[in-house]
Amino acid sequence: MGVKSKIVIGNWKMNGSAELVESFTRTMLDNQAAYAGIRVVLCPPFTLLQAMADALEGGPILLGAQNVSEFEQGAHTGEISAPMLASMGTKMVIIGHSERRASRGENDRIIAAKVKQALSVGMLPVLCVGETAEEKARGDSGAVVWQQLSVVLHAIGSELFGQLIVAYEPIWAIGSGSTASTDDILTITTAIHAKLAQLGIQLPLLYGGSVNAGNAAQISSLPTISGLLVGGASLQAGQFLLLCSNT
Ligand code: PEP
């Protein structure tokens, strides 16, 4: 999947229902002019993937997942593999979200294995990186984010470097109602682009953390930003549509 245009990814987290899939996708598909030229991806919980795949079939919105197993198959009760997701038409998968790093014990090794699994079936991994409030206060944001990203780059090998999307999501901004300042987003993402350039890599960088219809235009217009990863504001179709049209 090409990522030349801006991209907006909706992460429903552990929310939603069959009814929401139905009404949400109907509103989105009835108003395609609002996101013409933008790649929109919807990531519902696993149990709603098939309903979402059916509802989106043949339309411009892509299906994404919120997580994938680090294993390909076998005795891993409760896990969902990359081939399983791909077989449902999932084109993209969020990996290393801070909520999973913090509460499900996902470390850089596990995250790198998940990225490799996604790539092995041609799904685009959206690797989430970001610092805590304490790390930011210590002035360590850039170092923390680069450490999270470089572990994955080393693990996947240079031939796959170009097949990754990175979402810069300051942990303190997620679900808090406060975004990072545009100056801070610009500083961190400029530094990431510069380090990647030293390795001969160019990757799309998204921003996530309390994005809404009101701030989407300002953040997405930053020259270092290729799009937005949206949590809370992706649960209400009217708001999400407005957010997309402002991107
Ligand atoms: C997220 O879940 O990745 C996220 C950015 O959430 P929110 O937009 O609610 O801060």
| pLDDT on residue 102 | 84
Number of domains in the chain: 1
* Mean pLDDT, residues 137-144 taken together: 96
How many Cα atoms sit within 13 Å of 144 on the Cβ side? Answer: 19
**Pick the residue with more confidence: 163 or 216?**
216
* Mean pLDDT, residues 139-152 taken together: 95
- Share of residues in the chain with pLDDT > 90 (%): 91
* Mean pLDDT, residues 159-184 taken together: 92
Best substitution site from 9, 14, 43, 211 to test ligand 1's pocket, by max atoms within 8 Å of Cβ? 211
pTM: predicted TM-score of the whole model, two decimal places: 0.96
Q: Is residue 2 part of a domain?
A: no
CB burial of 73-108 (b: ≥16 within 10 Å; e: otherwise) equals eeeeeeebbbebbbeeebbbbbbbbbbbbeeeebeb
199 pLDDT higher than 70: yes
Out of 78-87, 90-99, 151-160, 196-205, least confident range: 151-160
Tokens of 100: 């999973």
According to the annotation, is 231 in a ligand binding site? yes
Q: Using an 8 Å Cβ cutoff, are 52 and 92 in contact?
A: no
Q: Is residue 105 part of a domain?
A: yes
Q: Is residue 190 part of a domain?
A: yes
According to the annotation, is 210 in a ligand binding site? yes
Beta strands in the chain (DSSP E): 7-11, 39-43, 62-65, 92-95, 124-129, 165-168, 205-208, 227-230
| pLDDT on residue 4 | 55
CATH number of the domain within which 81 lies? 3.20.20.70
ipTM for this model: 0.97
* Mean pLDDT, residues 100-116 taken together: 92
Best substitution site from 171, 210, 215 to test ligand 1's pocket, by max atoms within 8 Å of Cβ? 210
145 pLDDT higher than 70: yes
* Mean pLDDT, residues 200-213 taken together: 96
Q: Name the closest-CA residue to atom 6, ligand 1.
A: 231
100 pLDDT higher than 50: yes
Q: Is residue 142 part of a domain?
A: yes
* Mean pLDDT, residues 224-235 taken together: 98
Q: Is residue 149 part of a domain?
A: yes
* Mean pLDDT, residues 5-14 taken together: 96
| pLDDT on residue 161 | 79
110 pLDDT higher than 50: yes
Q: Is residue 199 part of a domain?
A: yes
Can you tell me the distance from the alpha carbon of 148 to that of 145, in angstroms, rounded to the nearest whole number? 5
Tokens of 40: 């929109």
- Share of residues in the chain with pLDDT > 70 (%): 98
Nearest CA to 42 among 246, 243, 230? 230
1 pLDDT higher than 50: no
106 pLDDT higher than 60: yes
**Pick the residue with more confidence: 103 or 121?**
121
The domain of 226 spans 7-245
